[in-house]
Chain A
Amino acid sequence: MVNLPSEQITINLGPQHPSTHGVFRLRVTLDGEVITDVEPIFGYLHRGTEKLAEERTYTQIVTLTDRLDYTSSMINNQAYVLAVEKLAGVTVPPRGQYLRVLTAELQRIASHLMGVGFFLQDLGASGTPLMYCFRERERILDLFEMLCGARVTVSYMRPGGVFQEPPPEFWPAVRHLLDTTPDAIAELERLISENEIVLARTKGVGVLTKEKAIDSAVSGPNLRASGVAWDLRKADPYDVYADMDFAVPVGSNGDSYDRFLVRVMEVHQSIRIAEQCYRDMPGGPVRSELPFFFRPPPGDAYAHVEASKGELGFYLVSDGGIAPYRCKIRSPSFINLTVLAEMLIGWKVADLMVIFGSLDVNMGEVDR
């Protein structure tokens, strides 16, 4: 037996790499195929959202929140306007609240579809599941276009409600979407969730233990996949979630497969919530009128929502001016990303992308 000398190599995955979900860099030290060290480097997408928010009026900041996690703009809008409403003590008419919950759940479906699609793309499926996910996502974006004229950067919500009554043709379109989406998701599940290769690639890969997840403040589907039944829609209901009847999917192993499956099952629950919103949609105004330049009383407020990636919180401090004195964003992707390096060590290069993809982080939100 000859002992051949071998050395570790360092490779840079990103910032330009086919599957880094945005501009993200991982400096990976490899021993053959096995990862021995990981150094995540981010900040390539930093746009200074928090600082910009200090120079915008409360309404104008809504447009900035669209661009945090650009796959779930509606939920970002919702988190922000909830914080402003808490700060200014504004109440929202019930129709506005229902519309917010409806659109947030539709956005959650779209975001989860994108997360699942890219996760499967990272597994090496040549774009097919991704296309199927995007096909369904597009139909939701069509609805958003109807609602507010934009598909991704929606800027739909305003402090005090939503910007406007949806157009009348929105309702038949929602009905149609709610009727057809479950079949499409079922098709996706048939394609993927019992595929032996997917199982071999994801079962037991990248396990995030319950303790580690809680210690690192991981939230959202990643936390639930680790076996913690924690959902802000249940734990601290906002808008009209307290009236909604839905269950929370909770995993048991905390591996990549559970994270994937939790997302797929959450899509079904989101459809359930959206159905209830559609059914119970009250009449009345959608927005309690606030002036464009309004001045909340000095003070601070923190509001958090269960975004598609986890707990999204906005902490606003007002000094009584037209713009917040400070706007701190607790972005779920950033905090979920902190566990990545530890999860990767010991796995192979091929698993790197699977684990990274299964965390479903969005760089727009990480770097802000």
Chain B
Amino acid sequence: MESPFDRNGLFSGLYGFFADLTPESFAWLAYLLAGVVVVFIVINGVMLLTAFETYMERRVLGRFQTRLGPNRVGPFGLLQPFADVFKLLIKEDLRPAMADRLTFFLAPVLMVAAILLVAAVVPFGPNTFLADLNIGVLFIVGIPTIATVAMFLGGWGSGNRFALLGAARAVAMLISYEVPMIVSLAGVLLLAGSMSLVDVVEAQRLPFIVLQPLGFFVFLVAASAEMNRSPFDLMEAESELTAGFHTEFSGIRFGLLQLAEFGELVIISAVLAVIFVSGWQNPFVSPDYAQWLPGQLWFLLKLVFFLLLFTWIRATLPRMRVDQVMAFAWKALFPLAIINTLVTAVLVVAWPEPEYGQLWIMAAINWAVAIACLVLFSRFLERHRERPTASVQLVEIPAEAS
């Protein structure tokens, strides 16, 4: 049986390279060097992707709003993120007098660290990842929770009531959304039979978005809540709480918080690409056929697709209220995730080793369940039976004689 180490082509290649350079007895040094190089590549890759994402989001959001978006720095404004970072670096670092020194300092660092940790298990392509953890899926939903702690530290430590409210919202909401997020992945895990993300990709003869529409929907919604994206961005709701938990942060601390936020977006999009649209494989054909493009490129395309999807959602939807957000998690998403898991479990028991054709039958059943559930739930949660615009009527009033 091949070890996870053998499957990691990038790492084992580098290890071989350094092992040749170092004497036999210094194998640990080669291992360390290879690790450092891969970590360097992954962290910088994620950072670059995040920088690109901030640029892309601003440009695309601008076009959604029929504006131009940033286009001054460099060709097409491509250097805008670097200009932003430079500006944040040279800005004065303010700390409010009432702030708690330690937590205020710790929050941005912890948040960035938590996000970068997740990048460790994301397979960016065949043989292109840092670690193939056998509990990878658990890792990617567990570690971002540290970011929640960081948000609370930052919000509480700022000594600002807006920040405190934002932090309280963050904790309440993120804990609620962890639950449906994890449960929605149960179906995927049942189908893949493994928690390793590499195994999950390789198990996708059909992309799991086809097999798990309900799971995908729940995960997408829960994930956008998890990374406080619109319409769930209530912990930094600018129209209510100024900026929520990062009201008091300025300079590079603010930059770190933004990096963490957009980094989380990149990571979650990557996870979505890996878990639901078959990672580095061509999603349109079975993995047995030609892949058309290199795996890393497929992965990048899917990543950009999800980033654009999140931008599109942000461009359209207003923000929900805090109690509605919580109600939505517990009354809609959680039951949907449970139903999805149950249905998938039954299907997996029925066809433990499905043929390609049987996969399509499973997909059809899952889609039918998904549509039925969505219709039922929206009926159930619907408060207004009549057309909402019917509440205002045109009235003809005769004009008084002047």
Q: Are A194 and B389 in contact (CB under 8 A)?
A: yes
Q: Are A262 and B392 in contact (CB under 8 A)?
A: yes
Contact with A along B377-402 (1 / 0, CB 8 A): 00000011001110111111111111
Min CB distance, B319 to chain A, in Å?
3
A1 at the interface (CB under 8 A from B): no
Write out the residue numbers on chain B whose beta carbons fall within 8 Å of the beta carbon of A9: 161, 164
Q: How many A-B residue pairs have CB under 8 A?
A: 153
Task: Compute how far the CA of A176 lies from the CA of B397 in the bound complex, rounded to whole angstroms.
Answer: 29
A46 at the interface (CB under 8 A from B): no
A128 at the interface (CB under 8 A from B): yes
B165 at the interface (CB under 8 A from A): yes
Question: B348-392: which have CB < 8 Å to A?
Answer: 383-384, 387-389, 391-392
Q: Given contacts A18-B239, A250-B393, are A194 and B315 in contact (CB under 8 A)?
A: no
Point out the residue from B161, B233, B392 that lies within 8 Å of A225, measured CB to CB.
B392
Q: Are B314 and A126 in contact (CB under 8 A)?
A: yes
Q: Are A121 and B239 in contact (CB under 8 A)?
A: yes
Question: B272-326: which have CB < 8 Å to A?
Answer: 314-324
Write out the residue numbers on chain B whose beta carbons fall within 8 Å of the beta carbon of A30: 165
Q: Are B315 and A128 in contact (CB under 8 A)?
A: yes
Point out the residue from A124, A244, A265 that lies within 8 Å of B319, measured CB to CB.
A124
Q: How many residues of A contact B (CB 8 A)?
A: 62
Q: Given contacts A18-B238, A135-B66, are A348 and B392 in contact (CB under 8 A)?
A: no
Write out the residue numbers on chain A whose beta carbons fall within 8 Å of the beta carbon of B231: 124, 197
**Which single residue of chain A is at the shortest CB-CB distance from B315?**
A128
Task: Compute how far the CA of A203 lies from the CA of B242 in the bound complex, rounded to whole angstroms.
Answer: 24
Q: Are B384 and A199 in contact (CB under 8 A)?
A: yes
Point out the residue from A10, A33, A126, A200 that lies within 8 Å of B320, measured CB to CB.
A200
Min CB distance, A151 to chain B, in Å?
19
Point out the residue from B230, B239, B321 that lies within 8 Å of A348, measured CB to CB.
B321
A267 at the interface (CB under 8 A from B): no
B240 at the interface (CB under 8 A from A): yes
Task: Compute how far the CA of A229 lies from the CA of B393 in the bound complex, rounded to whole angstroms.
Answer: 10
Min CB distance, B261 to chain A, in Å?
14
Q: Are B397 and A229 in contact (CB under 8 A)?
A: yes
Min CB distance, B382 to chain A, in Å?
9
Question: A178-196: which have CB < 8 Å to B?
Answer: 191, 193-195
Q: Are B239 and A252 in contact (CB under 8 A)?
A: no
Write out the residue numbers on chain A whose beta carbons fall within 8 Å of the beta carbon of B61: 126-127
Write out the residue numbers on chain B whose beta carbons fall within 8 Å of the beta carbon of A199: 384, 388
Write out the residue numbers on chain A whose beta carbons fall within 8 Å of the beta carbon of B399: 233-234, 237, 241-242, 244
Q: Are A257 and B240 in contact (CB under 8 A)?
A: no
B14 at the interface (CB under 8 A from A): no
A66 at the interface (CB under 8 A from B): no
Task: Compute how far the CA of A225 lies from the CA of B389 in the bound complex, rounded to whole angstroms.
Answer: 12
Q: Are B394 and A265 in contact (CB under 8 A)?
A: yes
Q: Given contacts A235-B400, A242-B402, A349-B241, are A131 and B320 in contact (CB under 8 A)?
A: no
Write out the residue numbers on chain B whose beta carbons fall within 8 Å of the beta carbon of A352: 240
Q: Given contacts A237-B402, A353-B239, A353-B240, are A124 and B233 in contact (CB under 8 A)?
A: yes
Q: Given contacts A197-B320, A236-B402, are A350 and B237 in contact (CB under 8 A)?
A: yes
Write out the residue numbers on chain B whose beta carbons fall within 8 Å of the beta carbon of A200: 320-321, 324, 383
Min CB distance, A301 to chain B, in Å?
15
Min CB distance, B159 to chain A, in Å?
12
**Which single residue of chain A is at the shortest CB-CB distance from B393?**
A250
B72 at the interface (CB under 8 A from A): no
Q: Are A193 and B389 in contact (CB under 8 A)?
A: yes
Task: Compute how far the CA of A30 lies from the CA of B240 in the bound complex, rounded to whole angstroms.
Answer: 13
Write out the residue numbers on chain B whose beta carbons fall within 8 Å of the beta carbon of A201: 318-321, 324
Min CB distance, A241 to chain B, in Å?
7
**Which single residue of chain B is at the shortest CB-CB distance from A130?**
B65
Question: A127-176: which have CB < 8 Å to B?
Answer: 127-128, 131-132, 135
A276 at the interface (CB under 8 A from B): no
Write out the residue numbers on chain A whose beta carbons fall within 8 Å of the beta carbon of B242: 17-18
Task: Compute how far the CA of A327 lies from the CA of B314 in the bound complex, rounded to whole angstroms.
Answer: 48
A220 at the interface (CB under 8 A from B): no
Write out the residue numbers on chain A whose beta carbons fall within 8 Å of the beta carbon of B17: none
B15 at the interface (CB under 8 A from A): no
B234 at the interface (CB under 8 A from A): yes
Task: Compute how far the CA of A65 lies from the CA of B235 in the bound complex, rounded to whole angstroms.
Answer: 40
Q: Given contacts A127-B65, A201-B318, A234-B397, are A251 and B391 in contact (CB under 8 A)?
A: yes
- Identify 26 residue pairs between A and B in the complex whose beta-carbon atoms are under 8 Å apart, listed by A's number: A9-B161, A17-B242, A122-B239, A124-B230, A124-B231, A124-B319, A125-B316, A128-B65, A131-B65, A131-B67, A199-B388, A225-B392, A229-B395, A235-B397, A248-B397, A250-B393, A250-B395, A252-B391, A262-B392, A265-B392, A265-B394, A349-B165, A349-B240, A350-B234, A350-B321, A353-B239
20 more CB-based (< 8 A) A-B contacts, given A124-B237, A126-B61 = A9-B164, A19-B238, A19-B240, A33-B322, A124-B233, A124-B239, A125-B319, A132-B65, A193-B389, A194-B388, A199-B384, A203-B383, A229-B397, A234-B397, A234-B398, A242-B402, A247-B395, A258-B392, A265-B392, A269-B394
Q: Residues of B with Cβ closer than 8 Å to A?
A: 61, 64-67, 161-162, 164-165, 168-169, 230-231, 233-234, 237-242, 314-324, 383-384, 387-389, 391-402
Q: Residues of A with Cβ closer than 8 Å to B?
A: 9-11, 17-19, 30, 32-33, 120-128, 131-132, 135, 191, 193-195, 197-201, 203, 225, 229, 231, 233-238, 241-242, 244, 247-253, 257-258, 261-262, 265, 269, 348-353
The 10 closest A-B pairs by CB, nearest first: A124-B319, A123-B318, A131-B65, A19-B239, A247-B394, A125-B318, A234-B397, A261-B392, A350-B321, A251-B392
